[in-house]
Amino acid sequence: MCGFIGSFPSKDKNSVSKGLFKILHRGPDDNNIIESEMGVYGHCRLAIIDVDSGIQPMEYKDHLIVFNGEIYNHQNLRSLTDEEFSTDSDTETILRLYLKYGPEIVNKFNGMFSFAIINKNSLFLARDPIGIKPLYYIINEDTIYFASEIKALSGLGGRIIEFPSGTYWHSNFGFKKYYDFSNSLIPNLKTDPFLEEDLIKIKDSLKKAVNLRLIVDENVPLGVALSGGLDSSIITALAREQKDPLDTFAVGTLGCKDLELSLMVSEYLDTNHHTYLYDAEDILKALPTVIKHLESFDAALIRSAVPNYFLAKLASKYVKVILTGEGADELFGGYKYMSEISNPYEFQSELYNLISNLHNTNLQRTDRMTMAFSLEARVPFLDKNVIETSLGIPVTWKLHHKKRVEKYILREAFKDMLPYEIIHRPKEKFSHGAGSKDLMANHAENQISNKEFDKEKNIGKNTILRSKEELLYYRIFNDIFGDSINPETVGRTRSILKDELIKI
């Protein structure tokens, strides 16, 4: 996992240097800037694969690449060319295969990525299918600036735009959407009871996804974020089958469910479990740092980012890579408000919307909070094959009703691997299970009057703050970034029911 910034084709080394400095937390192991006739490009590296040789920016045959992410199947993809590789790095695999096959090679990548490939005549940008890895850009007169975080581009002038997921762009022919699962909007309406073979498909696809994400260099430690919920417990169980010993991590407030149930899972699976307790004072102290890294003032996102922040801080003391359960609710309809959707077409459409909009909400939270501590997060549920397997399952098996709890088919698939209490634990938001649900809302209510809220809630042409809690966060956001980040660049969530949040 890494961070990068570039200017094409202008040689704006000053801006690239300043921008790279702002994101050095993404790659503390090495950083470099290359100035060439193609422009200026900077990269900071968190070394996970081929620690000794995968230095970036990487050059080959008059082309240059900067890359953030992991291509889990890159060793298999090397069979697509007869060339001899000089490193074991997936960065080199991307560059060489791009030169042989062109832009469409991205369809064969199984992983999380954003990257840029440059020669003296062109720039190519690409982002992974779901938007696990971030990418932003600015078009400023004749120069394109691009970077891994918004803050790296702040102050350059022009509008900062998020690069779309599942898309690539070439300076000669523009944007192309290379990955689209919209055909899954037509749901499989099979109503027969699911069979053992259906459960096996789910189990096998996720097991393969976890195994791919356990690949690291020999001396790179890896663990799992274990909240004690269904999703993270499944990932832990699958990882534990392949890895011994296995470090797991949980955080929360005193007496919260996450700490209690994560310990139960840890003891059941025999992991090396690490925990951290935080309180309201810790949250208040951490808020400016959380908001600075998250690059958001969205209340729901920050509320869930706080426990992520403490978990990443804890895990970074022991490991360099961490697996998470992110994405299961979006694939299997885990949100409680979805119990009110009985029409299978509407249910499938909602799943599609949830997955499509992960990139600048939940995945942004996961990326920024882990990268704040130079920790790489991997998300097995968002493997392409897992997504396609899940969306191919009859949607009628995901519908909620009185006799079927949310994510029922996922629970059935893994009921032999986890304690009864975990398989039957109802869905809770991370911030709720970790015990921090109302702390900040109550604090904001005490700090901000109704008059202040009414006066300050309109912060842009199309942006209105929706609560005192959000105003509290926006004040901190504005103190940090000022006018350098347009509020409309920030991803927003909306409340469906009291505590159920999804992207607009």
For the chain, percent helix, then strand, then coil, each to nearest 5?
Answer: 45, 20, 35
Domain spans in the chain, listed from the N-terminal domain onward: 2-177, 194-436
- Tokens 């009703």 sit on residue: 401
Residue 273 has a pLDDT of 98
Q: Are 215 and 395 in contact (CB under 8 A)?
A: no
429: confidence class by pLDDT, cuts 50, 70, 90:
low
CATH number of this structure's domain 194-436:
3.40.50.620
Q: What is the C-alpha R_g of the chain?
A: 22
Instruction: Give this prediction's pTM.
Output: 0.93
Predicted pLDDT at 497? 32
Looking at residue 120, what is its pLDDT?
Answer: 85
Give the tokens for residue 221. 């430690």
Q: Which residues lie below 8 Å from residue 248, measured CB to CB, with a gap of 6+? A: 223, 224, 225, 226, 236, 262, 265, 266, 271, 272, 273, 274
Q: What one-character-per-residue DSSP string does 251-266 give? A: EESTT-HHHHHHHHHH
Catalytic annotation on 2?
yes
Predicted confidence (pLDDT) per residue in 346-404, tens digit? 998 899 999 998 998 999 999 999 999 999 999 999 999 999 999 888 888 888 876 67
d(CA 244, CA 428): 29
> DSSP character for 401?
B
Residue 400 tokens, joined:
């909620």
Residue found under tokens 């922040």: 309
CATH superfamily of 2-177: Aminohydrolase, N-terminal nucleophile (Ntn) domain (3.60.20.10)
Catalytic residue among 2, 123, 209, 355: 2
Q: Does the pLDDT at position 485 exceed 90?
A: no
What pLDDT band is residue 434 in, cutting at 50, 70 and 90? Answer: low
SS (H, E, C) 362-391: HHHHHHHHHHCCCCEEECHHHCHHHHHHHH
Whether residue 300 has pLDDT greater than 60: yes
Tell the residue number behind the tokens 């840890």, with chain if given. 266
The SS3 of residue 65 is: strand
pLDDT in tens, 442-459: 889 999 999 999 999 999
Q: Does the structure show a pLDDT above 60 at 336?
A: yes
CA distance 309 to 286: 9
Residue 503 parent element (H or E): strand 500-503
Residue 169 has pLDDT above 70, yes or no: yes
| 427: pLDDT strictly greater than 80 | no
